[in-house]
Amino acid sequence: MIQLALAASFFVGIHFLIAGTRWRDRLIAKYGERIYRGGFSILSLTGLFWLIYAYRQAPYIETWGQLAWFKPVAAFLMLIAFILAVAGVTTPNPTAVNGESLLSEAEPARGILRITRHPFLWGIALWAAVHLIVNGDAAALVLFGSFLILTLGGARSIDAKRQRQFGDRWAKFQAATSNVPFYAIREGRNRLEWGEIGWWRLALAMTLHLLLLHFHSLLFGVSPLF
C-alpha cells in the first residue's frame, strides 16, 4: 500500500503542482512549449504506469466490500461516463491542447460543451466514482480516489490556466458554459441542443460500453453485472 500511496501522490502531484500552476508558465517561458509538453507527457505516462503497477501489487484490504447490488446501477452510470468521454474526445474544445483558436468563433460552445466545458474529465470522474463505490477496498479507494480528485480539481486548474493565457476571449467562453454539467443551461447562459452532440457519438459510446460489459470479466476478472 505504501508504493500505491507514493505512486498516487506522484501522479496527482505533478498535475496539481506543475500542469495547472504558474510553474508551467515559467517552464514554457524557459524551455518552450514543445519541450515542456514532451517532458510532462513522459512524467505523466511514468506516473500512470507506476500507479497501475502499484495497484496490481497492493494487498486486498476490505473497506465496505464489493457492492453486488450496485453493479446494475454502475453499468448504467458507466454508459453516461462513456457518452461524456467519447463526446469530449471527439468534440472540438477550447480547453483542449491547440484548441484555443476556437475561442475566436462566434459560438465556440456547441454540442456536448453546452452541457459542460469539461465533458471528458467528467466522464473519467464518473468512471472513477463508480469503481470506487463498487469495489469497496483500500487499494481501489486510493487508485480511483486519485483519478476522482485529479479530474475534478483538474477542471478548475484548466480554467485558471486558460484564463491567464487568453483573458477576455476565455472569459466569454466561460460565461457561456459551465464546469458542472447542465449548470449554464439551468442559469439560462446556454441551451440544450441534443442534435449537436451527434448521434454517431452516442452510438460509438454505446458500442464501446457494450463491448466493455462483454469483455470485462475476461480483462479484469470481475463481472460488471453480477
Q: Which amino acid is at 189?
A: R
pLDDT tier, 223 (very low <50, low <70, confident <90, very high otherwise): confident
CA angle 139, 144, 149 (to 5 degrees): 125
Q: Please report whether residue 21 resides in a domain.
A: yes
Domain shared by 199 and 108, yes or no: yes
Do residues 47 and 122 touch, judged by C-beta distance below 8 A?
no
Do residues 12 and 150 touch, judged by C-beta distance below 8 A?
yes
Q: Please report whether residue 160 resides in a domain.
A: yes
Can you read off the three cell numbers belonging to residue 56? 496490481
Domain shared by 119 and 185, yes or no: yes
Q: Please report whether residue 34 resides in a domain.
A: yes
Residue-wise pLDDT tens digits, 111-137? 999 999 999 999 999 999 999 999 989
Integer Cα distance of 176 and 193 in angstroms: 14
Among 9-23, 80-94, 206-220, where is mean pLDDT lowest? Answer: 9-23
Domain shared by 124 and 136, yes or no: yes
Do residues 136 and 80 touch, judged by C-beta distance below 8 A?
no
* pLDDT (0 to 100) of residue 28: 78
Domain final position from 39, 58, 77: 58
Domain shared by 38 and 92, yes or no: no
Domain shared by 75 and 175, yes or no: yes
Looking at the structure of the chain, the number of domains it has is 2
Among 163-172, 173-182, 208-217, where is mean pLDDT lowest? Answer: 163-172
Can you read off the three cell numbers belonging to residue 199? 448521434
Domain final position from 58, 83, 103: 58
pTM of the prediction? 0.91
Range of the domain at 198: 61-220
Q: Please report whether residue 225 resides in a domain.
A: no
pLDDT tier, 179 (very low <50, low <70, confident <90, very high otherwise): very high
Give Cβ neighbours of residue 203 (< 8 Å, ≥ 6 apart): none
The DSSP annotation for 120-189 comes to: HHHHHHHHHHHHHHHH-BHHHHHHHHHHHHHHHHHHHHHHHHHHHHHHHHHHHHHHT--SSTTHHHHTTS
Domain final position from 27, 43, 58: 58
